[in-house]
Amino acid sequence: MIEENKNDMPTINWFPGHMAKARRLIQDNLKLVDVVVELLDARIPLSSANPMLADLIVDKPHMIALNKADLADQIATKEWIHYFNQKNIPAVAIDSMTGKGMKLLLKTIDELAKEKVNKLVSKGVNARSARVMILGIPNVGKSSLINRLAGAAIAKTADKPGVTRAKQWIKIGKNLDLLDTPGVLWPKFEDMQVGLKLAFTGAINDEVYDMEKVMNIFLETMIQYYPERLIERYKLQSDLLKNSSEVLQAIARKRGCLLKGGIIDEEKARRIILNEFRNGKLGLITLDRINSI
């Protein structure tokens, strides 16, 4: 659902009923696991972090996996890993589609779980596999990660957010039991920019927000941080990068997004730009920056 605020900034509020159910499911099952892996989108590490999770997992060993690192600015990703490490939260960059970073991810999970497992053994309990829960907002790549770790398409995947619904345990090798749970998204975005960045990356269904206003802001962001990517991808003249409207029209002409009478099909152009960003065709881009915290 989109609301308008005083600054004409599109406000995105989206909290389907299954999200509330997912939170209860996580609360009920946290006691079963030894380690929590929070999966974030490497392009928006801050915006894809769910504020509710910090309260939920406060007493559990916790690490962060920055997924889709193959689509993110590598320098920015290293800065984010350093940022989380400074907060004593282990963080690794991964790509669940290619398997990059999986060994380091599993090694870090194992190290975090050792204390709990060893404590059980000291009490006379037979050694068992480490139990892990992966948490993340919809469409951050949880199902793809689980499939990669399991080596088979066990978890259901889709391009649209919110596909995973029910709890399931998945055996990963000999030493890891993985508890999958639905992604959780918070009920209200206190920072409007957070909602917008989630819309950019596809964490929110495209049907629930105003594409025109969101894409205007996306283009303004690109003009500010990555103007060279627009120039390279769409063969634009640098003097055109003055505002989002001019850039959109220039891209539309370059891509032949024209209706009868030579009228520019702006909606088609917006879809092209958004899809190319999501598919990495605009280059390696990180929209959340350390210096913005």
Q: Is 183 annotated as a binding residue?
A: yes
Q: Is 142 annotated as a binding residue?
A: yes
**pLDDT value for 161:** 47
Q: What is the Cα–Cα distance from 111 to 146, expressed in whole angstroms?
A: 19
Four-way CATH pick for 210-292: 1.10.1580.10, 2.60.40.10, 3.40.50.170, 1.10.10.60: 1.10.1580.10
Length reported for the chain: 293
Q: Is 141 annotated as a binding residue?
A: yes
Q: Where in the chain is the domain with CATH 3.40.50.300?
A: 2-180
Residues in the chain with pLDDT values less than 70:
1-19, 120-121, 124-127, 152-167, 181-183, 185-189
**pLDDT value for 266:** 96
pTM: 0.84
Q: Is 139 annotated as a binding residue?
A: yes
Q: Is 292 annotated as a binding residue?
A: no
Residues 6+ away with beta carbon under 8 Å from 17: none
Q: Is 69 annotated as a binding residue?
A: yes
For domain 2-180, give the CATH superfamily: P-loop containing nucleotide triphosphate hydrolases (3.40.50.300)
**pLDDT value for 164:** 47
**pLDDT value for 167:** 61
Q: Is 195 annotated as a binding residue?
A: no
Q: Is 68 annotated as a binding residue?
A: yes
User: Cα(first)–Cα(last) distance of the chain, in Å?
Assistant: 27
Query: Both tokens of residue 22?
Result: 């997912």
Q: Where in the chain is the domain with CATH 1.10.1580.10?
A: 210-292
